[in-house]
Amino acid sequence: MKLSSTLNDGIIQTLDRLCGSSVNTYSFKAKISDINDALDWYYSIAFKSGLNWELDDSNETSPPIDTQSLVSGTNRYKFSSFTEKIINLIKLEILDDSGQGLNLIPETMDNLSASFQELYLDTANTGTPTHYIKYGDFIYLRPFPNYSETDGLKAYFNRPASKFEFVSCQPEADDELITAVAHGLLADDTVIFEVDAGGTISAGITADTQYYVISTSLTADVFKVSATKGGSSIDITSDGSGMTFLKTNGEPGITSIHHRMLARKAALTNLSYISSPKLGFLPQQVLLDGKEIESFYANRTKDKDKIFTPVRQNNK
């Protein structure tokens, strides 16, 4: 289910039907904010229910693994220095001085066999790390590594959902090109434009109106748009300022059977938009949706019981 669809069956359109709203009464930016909040709600339930399954956004193009380099004599590494946003740390590995991967054993302050000072702050205790403890925004290793290894500390983790985000752009009147570095758009993608506070929209472009990306002049950093799929470029007659765009044909990176739940939760986020008496079912329905998400991810763990184990037969 796409974020927005010309067939009127996107998440945005579902949200409008639930609320009896339009872009004039419920702004596009407000809807996106509420849908992103609904994604956080969804993931918070799924993470707690998933147990042995590691949920990840299907829009991601790389696995949830990140590294830092091990430095000889340094056993403290800042957690937030990982490039990725980490919600939950699943496992830590290190590379030994020969490049062999080893699992680190996690510890907590409550289960230490001796004092933190003795175990994790004794600089004389060196070698290949075997244990770690996370305290505050830091990961401590013991013993202190007595070698350096590029990307030698490897984290496996859960990360947040990828949100629907507006991206800064700059239309140009002289050539009708819209500049946005590494925009990631493809021909026939659909976009809408907004203006930040204090900005002005380019003449020729209308805010909250869906446009199509065309192949003409399309590069990694610039694009043109048309009012119709595969049509001619929009005539931009002024540059504008403070403009942003949003790709509207993207999909949330969760199972498609749950997409409508995001619209229902987003509608419930701001009850001031809901005026129709028929929408009195929403709070109860969202509660049921939450239970369905919980059951869906909790029951997926049963797949581990279905792994085939061959049975040895006696030869006769």
Residue 145: per-residue pLDDT: 98
Distance CA 140, CA 122 (A): 12
pTM over 0.85: no
State pLDDT tens for residues 214-273: 999 999 999 999 999 999 999 999 999 999 999 999 999 999 999 999 999 999 876 665
- Decide the pairing of beta strands 105-107 and 144-145: unpaired
The secondary structure of 278-302 as a DSSP string is GGGGHHHHHHHHHHHHHHHHHHHGG
Residue 237 lies in a domain: no
pLDDT above 60: residue 277: no
Tell me, what's the pLDDT at 316?
42
Indicate if the pLDDT at residue 278 is higher than 60: no
In the prediction, which pLDDT does 23 show?
86
- How many folded domains does the chain comprise? 1
Per-residue burial over 195-216, b if 16 or more Cβ lie within 10 Å, else e, is beeeeebbebbeeeebbbbbee
When pLDDT is averaged across residues 111-139 and rounded to a whole number, the result is 95
pLDDT of amino acid 51 = 61
Angle formed at CA 59 by CA 214 and CA 104, multiple of 5 degrees:
150
Q: Is residue 168 part of a domain?
A: no
Residue 57 inside a domain? The answer is no
| Of the candidates 185, 159, 161, 158, the residue with the CA atom closest to the CA atom of residue 36 | 161
% the chain with pLDDT above 70: 91
| Integer Cα distance of 179 and 169 in angstroms | 5
Q: What pLDDT does residue 282 have?
A: 85
The 10s digit of each residue's pLDDT in 286-303 is 999 999 999 998 887 555
Establish if 86 belongs to a structural domain.
yes
Looking up tokens 């770690």 gives 132
**Which phi and psi (to 5°) does residue 32 adopt?**
-60, -40
Residue 147 lies in a domain: yes
Specify the pLDDT at position 160: 86
Q: Mean pLDDT, to the nearest integer, of 84-99?
A: 91
Which residues span the domain enclosing 70?
65-158
In-domain check, residue 316: no
Residue 139 placed within a domain: yes
Tokens of 212: 């199509």
**Is pLDDT larger for residue 303 or for residue 82?**
82
Q: What pLDDT sits at residue 54? A: 72
> Residue 61 and residue 59: Cα distance in Å, rounded?
6
Task: Calculate mean pLDDT across residues 270-291.
Answer: 76
Report pLDDT for 53: 65
Q: How many CB atoms lie within 10 A of CB 159?
A: 17
Structure confidence at residue 302 (pLDDT) = 55
Angle formed by the axes of helices 282-300 and 28-50, to 10°? 40
pLDDT attached to residue 55: 81
pLDDT (average), residues 141-165: 94
Q: pLDDT at residue 12 above 70?
A: yes
The candidate with the shortest Cα–Cα distance to 233, out of 246, 224, 245, is 224
pLDDT attached to residue 20: 83
Mean pLDDT of the chain: 90
Q: 169: closest CA among 131, 207, 142?
A: 207
pLDDT digits (tens, 9 = 90+) for 30-48: 999 999 999 999 999 998 8
Judge whether residue 193 has pLDDT over 80.
yes
Rounded CA separation 78/68 (Å): 9
- Angstrom distances, CA of residue 104 to CA of 152, 154, 230: 12, 10, 54
- On whether residue 187 sits in a domain, the answer given is no
